Chain A
């Protein structure tokens, strides 16, 4: 019983981290129709910045600074690597995203000297709490709460503010939105900045739990977060969050299945199999809107 609870707790923890990344993914995809492969790497860079900054200044300065700098980084990436390709085919932008991801990973390898870096201990978040006999960290418990708060906040933002309205308009129709006087570049930048803010917050929670930061650590959570976003229905924030938790929990359950079956190898494969199944049978995901093709 204790074991089952511990597996579920791990699942919630993993799912929560995916959720924070998935929100950024789903927002960017909703607007630009771009699989932002670099998003996972932005997350990794946020982790590295956390390590380097907290080494030279107190945490209460370092962490907000990490969040700000991550947003700046995402803004720069969007302006340099995606904006010039706005009129290019969708594939070019995606390739540009792969290029950015490659660049971030290689630069991180260069700067860290390819050593796995250890994330600093953050008071309170890193402390242990015992639930039903299973010790876990406060960060694990805090993540779902935070995610919930963020979902409510973001839905308010999207549905009831000017920026949000602009975002919805741009995601519906790029050109018409432009004709209506919406500054699409600013709107897109805003989306990237919000997405990266969440990734930065996610990085703090994630690396408090899983303390080793390596240059490739962002790639896999990034991809899985995308799967979560697709699963929940791309463009839908609550969908992405629910998708992330389902994937996180399923994955952990597979890891926890009896060793005699030897199936824990397939915990990642399962995520991708799920993706293919969802795409084939319900391409719009759980909460996605039906998109129509224009001739």
Chain B
């Protein structure tokens, strides 16, 4: 029995190696005659940030349907998306990244969440693949990694915008800051917000809740008790829906400010029919490009998988628009490089400029996007839609 098992085991291992060979070998589909270029999508489709990751992928998929080919140097290539799930955790990210490298992609888009991007970054770096971060806003993603670029703004910029907005719009003196313990995104934004807000003479009350926490009533009551003028919670989607519904049932009147993660239809759904004032800073405002809005809504409504990924309705999240733009930036990079080889694309990427639905995109010397505007939206709680509040500019330091 044992011997049999050992034999079976070695058989499985051999098969696996062969499967690996087979998978890695196919770099382009010569059999059909058409040329194929693959774009890697490095996104979480399971785990904590899957909800956001899937919406980002949705934008890329729509862009792929809209523009399935790219003409590079006079030759037409069919663009194929290769999606690799990084599971939202840094221990799964390296293998997900190398999976894309194996698939022979020309460049990589993603990821939602900065931690996984930092964990996957060195793999892309080693393989000489350029990666375009879509909504990873932590400064350390691009710093120290030549191959990582991003098209979104940074944590410090976003916090600056929101802190200024809080002071301009609400004359806020006291801000209640709530973030998840051990989440670099939340804590980074909270820290930058505190810097800006206290420098302008405000006071902050800063709290962190433990991971997987569900009861936020204590925190919200504390904010109410302390007379907070605004509540700033740059948390991930599941927590945000909890906070919004619980704030609604507690009758919290202080406005809730959120970062780009709160720009999500689940959060909007939670705020619908309540008296909550919810403001989020984001990359894109629905209506910014009517053509894109109409196209993607049509795509979502005619494709049940897409609708599921979008949480069951057709409200467009900013991350979807960002994913859409990232895809076109990738195509631009290929055109500019005049080649589909990773090294050529990487060389050309720094100089790529593109005006997408979320605004003009260009890269600075670190690889960060040069952006100075953020949209601030407010939830229209009566009919469950977003309304543009203001367009805010800020400094990135």
Q: Which A residues lie at the B interface, using CB under 8 A?
A: 2-3, 6-7, 9-10, 13-14, 106, 109, 113-116, 118, 126, 128, 134-137, 206, 209-212, 214, 216-217, 219-221, 252, 255-256, 259, 262, 264-269
In the complex, are the beta carbons of A14 and B215 less than 8 A apart? yes
A206's nearest neighbour on chain B, judged by CB, is: B214
Q: Given A3-B222, A114-B46, A256-B222 in contact, is the A212-B51 Cβ separation under 8 Å? A: no
Number of A-B contacts (CB under 8 A): 122
In the complex, are the beta carbons of B205 and A212 less than 8 A apart? no
For B188-216 the 0/1 string (1 means CB < 8 A from A) is 00000000000000000111111111110
Residues from chain A with a CB closer than 8 A to the CB of B250 are 134-136
In the complex, are the beta carbons of A212 and B251 less than 8 A apart? no
A126's nearest neighbour on chain B, judged by CB, is: B249
In the complex, are the beta carbons of A210 and B215 less than 8 A apart? yes
In the complex, are the beta carbons of B221 and A6 less than 8 A apart? yes
Residues from chain B with a CB closer than 8 A to the CB of A268 are 210-211, 213
Q: Which B residues lie at the A interface, using CB under 8 A?
A: 45-48, 50-51, 54, 181, 205-215, 217-219, 221-222, 224-225, 237-239, 241-242, 245-246, 249-251, 266, 269-270, 308-309, 311-312
Where chain A touches its partner, the secondary structure class is helix
Where chain B touches its partner, the secondary structure class is helix
In the complex, are the beta carbons of A211 and B245 less than 8 A apart? yes
A128's nearest neighbour on chain B, judged by CB, is: B249
- 16 other A-B residue contacts (CB within 8 Å) besides A206-B214, A211-B242: A3-B224, A10-B217, A106-B46, A113-B54, A113-B309, A114-B50, A115-B308, A134-B250, A137-B249, A211-B241, A212-B239, A259-B205, A264-B208, A264-B210, A267-B209, A269-B210
Name A10's contact: one of B218, B224, B241 (CB within 8 Å). Answer: B218
A267 and B181 alpha carbons, distance in the complex (Å): 11
Name A115's contact: one of B208, B217, B311 (CB within 8 Å). Answer: B311
Q: Given A116-B241, A210-B246 in contact, is the A3-B221 Cβ separation under 8 Å? A: yes
In the complex, are the beta carbons of A265 and B218 less than 8 A apart? no
A113's nearest neighbour on chain B, judged by CB, is: B308
* B379–chain A nearest beta-carbon distance, Å: 15
A246 and B252 alpha carbons, distance in the complex (Å): 28
A219 and B308 alpha carbons, distance in the complex (Å): 25
B305's nearest neighbour on chain A, judged by CB, is: A113
B206's nearest neighbour on chain A, judged by CB, is: A259
In the complex, are the beta carbons of A109 and B270 less than 8 A apart? no
Residues from chain B with a CB closer than 8 A to the CB of A264 are 207-210, 219
Name A252's contact: one of B50, B212, B218 (CB within 8 Å). Answer: B218
In the complex, are the beta carbons of A252 and B215 less than 8 A apart? yes
- Of the A-B pairs whose beta carbons lie under 8 Å apart in the complex, a sample of 19, sorted by A's number, is A6-B221, A109-B47, A113-B309, A114-B50, A114-B51, A114-B54, A115-B54, A116-B237, A134-B221, A209-B215, A209-B246, A211-B241, A211-B242, A211-B245, A212-B245, A256-B218, A264-B207, A264-B210, A265-B181
* B263–chain A nearest beta-carbon distance, Å: 15
A110's nearest neighbour on chain B, judged by CB, is: B46
A220 and B212 alpha carbons, distance in the complex (Å): 7
Residues from chain B with a CB closer than 8 A to the CB of A211 are 241-242, 245, 270
* A91–chain B nearest beta-carbon distance, Å: 21
Most chain B C-beta atoms within 10 Å of own C-beta, residue among A113, A135, A211, A221: A113
In the complex, are the beta carbons of B241 and A265 less than 8 A apart? no
Most chain A C-beta atoms within 10 Å of own C-beta, residue among B50, B224, B239, B312: B50
Residues from chain A with a CB closer than 8 A to the CB of B51 are 114-116
Residues from chain A with a CB closer than 8 A to the CB of B213 are 267-268
A262 and B206 alpha carbons, distance in the complex (Å): 8
Most chain A C-beta atoms within 10 Å of own C-beta, residue among B54, B181, B239: B181
Q: Given A219-B212, A252-B215, A267-B210 in contact, is the A115-B266 Cβ separation under 8 Å? A: yes
In the complex, are the beta carbons of B218 and A255 less than 8 A apart? yes
* B268–chain A nearest beta-carbon distance, Å: 11
Residues from chain A with a CB closer than 8 A to the CB of B246 are 209-210
* A274–chain B nearest beta-carbon distance, Å: 15
A239 and B237 alpha carbons, distance in the complex (Å): 36
* A258–chain B nearest beta-carbon distance, Å: 9
In the complex, are the beta carbons of A262 and B208 less than 8 A apart? yes
Name B212's contact: one of A118, A206, A216 (CB within 8 Å). Answer: A216
Most chain A C-beta atoms within 10 Å of own C-beta, residue among B215, B217, B241: B217
